[in-house]
Structure 1
Amino acid sequence: MDHTSSINATSLILPKPSLEADSKFVCGSPEFDSPKGIFTGYSPLDSVFPTFILQLIAGIVISRVIYLVLRPFRQSKILCSVLGGIVLGPSVMGLNMKFREALFPPIEMGLLNTFSTLGVMYTLFIVSVKTDYMTLVCRAGRITWVIGFAGTFFPWITLMCLFYSYHDYLPPSLQLKFIPFFVASILSLTFFAVVAFALDELNLLTSELGQLSLSSSLIGDLLQWLFVVTVASFKQGSTTQAVAAFASTFIVILICIYGIRPALLSIIKKIPQGQAVDEVYVILILLGASLMGFVTDFVGSSITYGPIILGFIIPGGPPLGSILVEKAECFVMEILLPLFFIRIGYELDVSSLRNWKTSVVLACIIFVGYFAKFLGIFVSSISFKLRPRTAFLLGLIMNNKGIIEFIIYFRWKKYGVLDEETFVVMMLSSLAITAFIAPLTERLYKPQVRLAPNNRRRGTLTIQTTPCTSQFRVITCVHNEENVNSIISLLEASNPTEMSPICVYVIHLEELRGNAAPLLAPYIAKKKKIFMRTNSPISDHIFTAFENYSGNSNGPVIVRPFTMIAPYKSMHENICKIAQEKLTPLIIVPYHENQTHIHGNRVASLIRAFNTNLQTYAPCTVGILVDRSTCQMNTYSFSYNVAVIFIGGEDDREALAYAERMSGHVDVSLTILHVSLRIKKQGELDHTNKGKNKGKSKEAEKEKEKEEEEAMEMEMLMDDALYDEFKVKNISNACVVCREVVAESNAQVMDAIQSLEANYDLVMVGRSRYQVMELNDIEMPSRRSKNNEPLGLIGDALVSSDFYQGWLSLLVLHRCRGPS
């Protein structure tokens, strides 16, 4: 051992006397020399840990570079990580033997193999924690089961027929008795985690297509774990040992379900509301994932199966599931998992494809299987009268391949189930189909298109167009308990009557944390089944408050509670869908500033983006409620003082229409401040911009001016008509006061607003108006704020500390506009 004594972990590579996947093993020496630095002639690559660190850094850097290059083509991060491992492996950079021996010396691969296995274990643990099977099963309809079965069994039958028809043309491992059955099964399945990752990358989680894809992939996941246990038991030496391993694994599952899960539920119940899980429990559960891997490996199953079992029994979402994902996901997915992809790249050698005839035949069979899966999903979707475009896209998404397939392929290779050639063909086929699907799906399906504001054929629902003798439907979005009181007060002021009752759809919005699938479901007060997702205490308190209000209001109020768990970036899609389905003329959402002290700046910025998306895509009027009041709602002695600032434009008309509804409530006092703008002629406006349009023809300028003047006149006529109608209806109403002022500049507008008294419970304004933009804004440069763009010019000014010491509650209404 003279040669090996010069390095830290002295070893010998000897032939392995077995027929398993690895042909060599490492015999290590207990001697260990501490490094003395490069000045003594020591090379860091002669030691295990420096080599391991270099492998880690190289894998992450190359994967990130590939991701940045391919991101414009909508390629996923996981696919780019696998490509990074292949680049480092013997297929690309590893073709240089000096590079391969320096970065991947066989005697120092033990640490990489250990940590990559640990990364796989914890990745599967996180994936299983984020997967709520029972919720998916409960909300899966007949269409999802039919599509799931069609997309699984049709390709399976096709692949089995092809494997046995071309038996003699396949690689050696696929000529064995049972191997084609397992390979065809895995190629036919669609895994929930893979679909969820792909949809998240494409921002389609909350879309109709995304929801249908997730539910349909449930079949693949349910069958997957049966194959995992079966294959793990299949590696045993005899039938008796296989049955013993299977039975032992089943006993472990029962212990987890009826022993560990109830203990976890009792821990959750003891956590005070609003507080995080004790760090001790988090550490114990994360260690438990490793312990479960040891247990399942000990009983003869797979070492990766234990973390999966533990993840399944942990209640997803807050407070436990979310904190586990938050604590572990970044390190596991960004540090440990790339080591597994490096290992895949090290094992994937394209030069092993020596028999191109068998490789091409196998690749063709696999792609025929993909097409059969697509065809089965497409035909079954069409049979349920889905649009051909939706059925086509669903077939594409369900063919996505990802981390679960890569893990299964790799472990089968290590077990000797797959030979080198079959492993390479299956990996490359999976990467090719995934790389093809992502950009095609992105190009064909754009969820924002179906949310285009104000489709003219459908029309836009508004407060003005809602008859005063029909049910007044409102969607209220609630982030936390502090939003409840102000929204209930606003609903009570909206004057529910027997002739025009209020139906309010209360939606508690929660950020998707600790779950892979978004959720939009009616609220169920009590859930006693052990696997049902438990309601959060905040949801219970919020909906209880609204139910109590419904039972004690002065008029008929119907409450329809919903829970929505989704990413904020796409949450508005479901809200818009509900507004379309329920024909609601008004959506009320809290202002993002009110959430900062509760959720922090990060969530507050996400809520601000959510509000902006709603204002852009909602099919009705959106009201942003800035709550700065300190009074509590009391239905027995209700009193509400409201001011409306009416300047002009469609948003202000919505505010006035809402005030007209409130005017019928005997306990609501209304003050209407009508600011008439004295607009200058077009030639006098904005003299500082005279030189901007010199290149334009005079005819085009005159035509544009004429169109603008006609549009302005039409807006003014509609403003005057609505205001006059309001005054006539409330001429004898002692609770309504109308004030009229004339203004020639924004400064005069602000002076008129400041003349209002400070004892109002709420001030209502429109977000934007046609006429006020014609005034000179030079006098108020400080009023412009990017953070307050959803509130508009007047709303921005009213929420500032210059007005009423910043204690003014405000409702900013915005009517969704049609395409220009």
Structure 2
Amino acid sequence: MENLIPSPCYDVEARNPNEIWKTDDILERHTPLLAVQIALCIFFTSIFYAILRPLRQPRIVAEVLAGFATSLFVAADDSLADTFMPAKGILSLETYANLGIMCYVFLSGLEMNFDSILQVRKNDTGIAFLGIVIPIVMGMGFFGGIQKVSDTLAENKGVYIGREYLFWCLALPLSSFPLLARILTDLKLLYTRMGKAALRAAMFSDTYGWVTFVALIPFSTDNAKGAILSVFSTMVFILLCIFVLRPLITKHIDQDTRQNDSTVVFLLIGVFVCSYITDFLGTHPVVGAFVYGLILPHGQFTELVMGKLDNFVTGAISPLFFFRVGLTMNLRVLAHQKHWPLIVLVILLLATPKVLSTYVATFFFDLPARHSIGIGLLLNIKGALALIMLNMAWDRQILSAVTFTIMVCAILAMTVVAPLFINSIYKPRKRYENFRMRTIEMLRNAAELRILSCVHNPQQAICMVTLLKTFNANRISPLHVFGVHLVELTGEAAAAATALLADQMDHHLMTHFGSQDSTISQSKSESTISNIFTTLQKEDNTIRVDNLQAVSDYRTIHEDIHSLVEQNLTALILLPFHKQPNGLEEETNEAYREINLKVMQDAPCSMALLVDRGLGLVSNTNLHIVMVFVGGPDDREALAFAWRMVRIGNSGNTLSMVRIILAGEAAEARISTSDDAKWATIRRVDDERQQVLDGEYIDSFRFKAVYNNDSITYSEEEVHNGEELVSLLQALDKDECDLYIVGQGNGRNTIVFSSFMEWCDNPELGVIGDIIASSSIGSRSSVLVVKQFGSEEKGCVRQIQQSSGADDV
């Protein structure tokens, strides 16, 4: 199979402008031919992306493979090659591809925060530095081996050997920061220690790549004097962009409150202007595009630009560049090599330098060996810059077909293998199996309580802050709040915000909201939510606050919440109910409900749903709280929650604890027809055990709290049937408390609660919570429904599973 992309020598033919597309064969004209090539690229890319997407593969892999598949398709018949990939159409193809890569690189620069690059930590810099030096040294050895076993490299007779070394060693150490950010988001590893370390190291590596690209690429020509002048003038241009152009653009965006499409179009012109300047200076057009994207201010403006351009650029323009790289690959040349098995071995071994470098870093930095291997695999992910370097070397005939194909195959292999290995090694469920969080019930009263509070909008944040203030933290028992803004990932452009978030996650208060790079027009919702949570720390120095973001698809954002719980060792997740007051009516969002249900299904710690009925409008934090206790682990967790609110005598909160004692018909256990006698016995034993634990916890609460705190009252009420239960809850609501705290209690094995559960509008609230929150009672009080971590596993279900497993053995 011959190369489909010939050497760049074009025969430009002048045509009569009055004969546009007027010919028997329309594919003879440039524009229709280009349209067919674009369609072919998108068609094959869509097929490969659909196949590779479940394997967490980035789109760039599908685009390169689409080009290679097209080369096989047209190589099957000379007429197909003449029709779809004729030599006369290469100029149009490359022009369009270069336009696409300029836009792609511009968006990549827009994703990277210029201030964050200057704030990379020492350890991350060291990991990245070793990840550059060791691959360069080992890469030279690999290249020397390729020279000896290859049958065709002798053609150059040493003329381009030094330049081949240059491009080989420049491309091998690179890591793609934007591509890695997207993959970490897909793998739900963005908030882990390993993910953050890999992302920061990739940022440093990406910066190194662009610096070396500017400094060394001009020397790939024979004009050394011109190369020095090119590097110097390009550096002057970059400095002017940073210190002159950047402040002017920031000032213009601050003053332009509209930020509409015209603003985006006006600034987009700068991409092509800067690209032209760096190309004129002798470097490369992508340098100007990247620098221009890097200096633009971040915030709402970044989201606006990315939202307007990202889908079009990544879906219709830039794929043709990577498609062209796939077209240029020539596996037939490798197959005809005498020592092709050794070449295949070298392709596989090219992934080892990065892993080895991060493993060496474990001896110098505080990095677990297991994480070092994961970071090394992640840093092997290459992106556009490595392919740009190789493509430039191919166009300038510096790299041979063998060397070029080997490097492209190695880049593809490393990028494909990394997500597969990481996904199999660091499965979220496997991480949670070894992660057993403390519940509030088991947490010592003097221990720090760490709460992950998730919100979608400022109104929910105000309500959450009002609730958190009632904990009355002190120096003996402090409170650590992680305020998480849940942001829906509406497209690949939002990965930029995710990447920037991960870079800022080590700060107690996210500097992203107050950095000098922010503009007046930055997202009001983000800054408002951040400021609302920050008031907790400003008003009480015993409360620590970290403002975070979780940017993901709503279908999988629960995994990000679980990762944040594991990362920050929180004991409770606070989530807003999917119904929110909006004037006299309630606003319902089913997407929020789906998130709550998924978080609840596999939460790695206790969680609570807050039904807001105006809690955020309370003028002070001295609340009248009613805690309804029926029994079970969820109710004990709810009581522990309420207990912490009033554990200080002068807290200002009042707690009315009402214990409902089931008697008569209400106490009858539900017996399923599928239960045999053995299972029924296990259920009864578990119910008795739960009753013992309930009694012990209630006695402890009464002795330590009720008898020593006048703000706490305790009462017991007997309930014989469902009607009495509803009547009791209606009577309690006449006192018009500010907040109800109840346990979810879905595991209660009684006939009354089972029948109520069948009619619940919101089963996630449990029977008691659903009755209080329903419109039939008409309660205006907010409700907090608590579910204890592992409550289902602690019940009869777990014992039944263990018993069945024992029998099987």
TM-score with structure 1 length normalisation?
0.82
Give CA deviations for 1:460-483 in whole Å, capped at 9, x if unaligned.
423333344555554444554323
Which residue does the alignment assign to 2:643? 660
Alpha-carbon distance in 2 for matches of 1:34, 1:124: 33
Match of 2:273 among 291, 296, 302: 291
Which residue does the alignment assign to 1:720? 695
Structure 1 gap segments, 5+ residues each: 1-19, 694-700
Q: Note if 1:804 corresponds to 2:790.
A: no
Q: Is the 8 A contact 1:453 1:618 kept in 2?
A: no
Aligned with 1:26: secondary structure? Answer: coil
The 1:203–1:779 alpha-carbon spacing in structure 2 relative to 1, beyond 3 Å, is closer
Structure 2 gap segments, 5+ residues each: 1-5, 799-809
The aligned runs of 1:380-779 (5 Å cut-off) are 380-381=361-362, 384=365, 386-452=367-433, 455=436, 460-469=437-446, 472-496=449-473, 500-509=476-485, 511=487, 513=494, 514-515=496-497, 517=499, 518=502, 519-520=504-505, 521-523=507-509, 542=529, 557-564=542-549, 566-567=551-552, 568-580=557-569, 585-594=571-580, 608=593, 611-612=596-597, 614-615=599-600, 620-629=605-614, 632-635=617-620, 639-663=622-646, 664-665=649-650, 667-678=652-663, 685=670, 690=673, 692=674, 701-727=676-702, 729-730=705-706, 735-743=711-719, 748-757=724-733, 759-771=736-748, 774-775=751-752, 777-778=754-755
Q: Is the 8 A contact 1:155 1:370 kept in 2?
A: no
| Counterpart residue type for residue 722 of structure 1 | Y
RMSD: 3.8
Shift of 1:294: 1.8
Match of 1:148 among 118, 128, 131: 128
Shift of 1:611: 4.4
Shift of 1:320: 1.5
Q: Is the 8 A contact 1:651 1:767 kept in 2?
A: yes
The 1:745–1:506 alpha-carbon spacing in structure 2 relative to 1, beyond 3 Å, is same
Alpha-carbon distance in 1 for matches of 2:458, 2:28: 60
| Counterpart residue type for residue 117 of structure 1 | N
Aligned with 1:504: secondary structure? Answer: strand
Alpha-carbon distance in 2 for matches of 1:409, 1:746: 74
The 1:271–1:591 alpha-carbon spacing in structure 2 relative to 1, beyond 3 Å, is farther
Q: Note if 1:29 corresponds to 2:5.
A: no
Shift of 1:751: 4.1
Which residue does the alignment assign to 2:300? 319
The aligned runs of 1:111-190 (5 Å cut-off) are 111-142=92-123, 144-164=124-144, 167=147, 169-170=149-150, 171=153, 172=155, 175=158, 176=160, 177-190=162-175
Match of 2:769 among 795, 806, 811: 795
Alpha-carbon distance in 2 for matches of 1:271, 1:749: 60
| Counterpart residue type for residue 649 of structure 1 | G
Alpha-carbon distance in 2 for matches of 1:67, 1:739: 63
Alpha-carbon distance in 1 for matches of 2:515, 2:472: 40
Alpha-carbon distance in 2 for matches of 1:84, 1:595: 51
| Counterpart residue type for residue 203 of structure 1 | K
The 1:354–1:319 alpha-carbon spacing in structure 2 relative to 1, beyond 3 Å, is same
Give CA deviations for 1:326-351 in whole Å, capped at 9, x if unaligned.
11111111111222233223333434
Alpha-carbon distance in 1 for matches of 2:658, 2:361: 60
Match of 1:223 among 192, 208, 227: 208
Shift of 1:88: 1.0
Which residue does the alignment assign to 1:106? 87
Which residue does the alignment assign to 1:200? 185
Q: Is the 8 A contact 2:739 2:783 kept in 1?
A: yes
Give CA deviations for 1:244-291 in whole Å, capped at 9, x if unaligned.
32222122212211122212333454466xxx7333222222232122
Give CA deviations for 1:624-643 in whole Å, capped at 9, x if unaligned.
222230664545xx542222
| Counterpart residue type for residue 147 of structure 1 | I
Identity %: 22
| Counterpart residue type for residue 283 of structure 2 | S
Aligned with 1:289: secondary structure? Answer: helix
Alpha-carbon distance in 1 for matches of 2:96, 2:660: 70
Q: Is the 8 A contact 1:59 1:338 kept in 2?
A: yes
Give CA deviations for 1:641-678 in whole Å, capped at 9, x if unaligned.
22222222111112122223334456323333433334
| Counterpart residue type for residue 255 of structure 1 | L
TM-score with structure 2 length normalisation?
0.83
Q: Is the 8 A contact 1:767 1:812 kept in 2?
A: yes
Shift of 1:526: 10
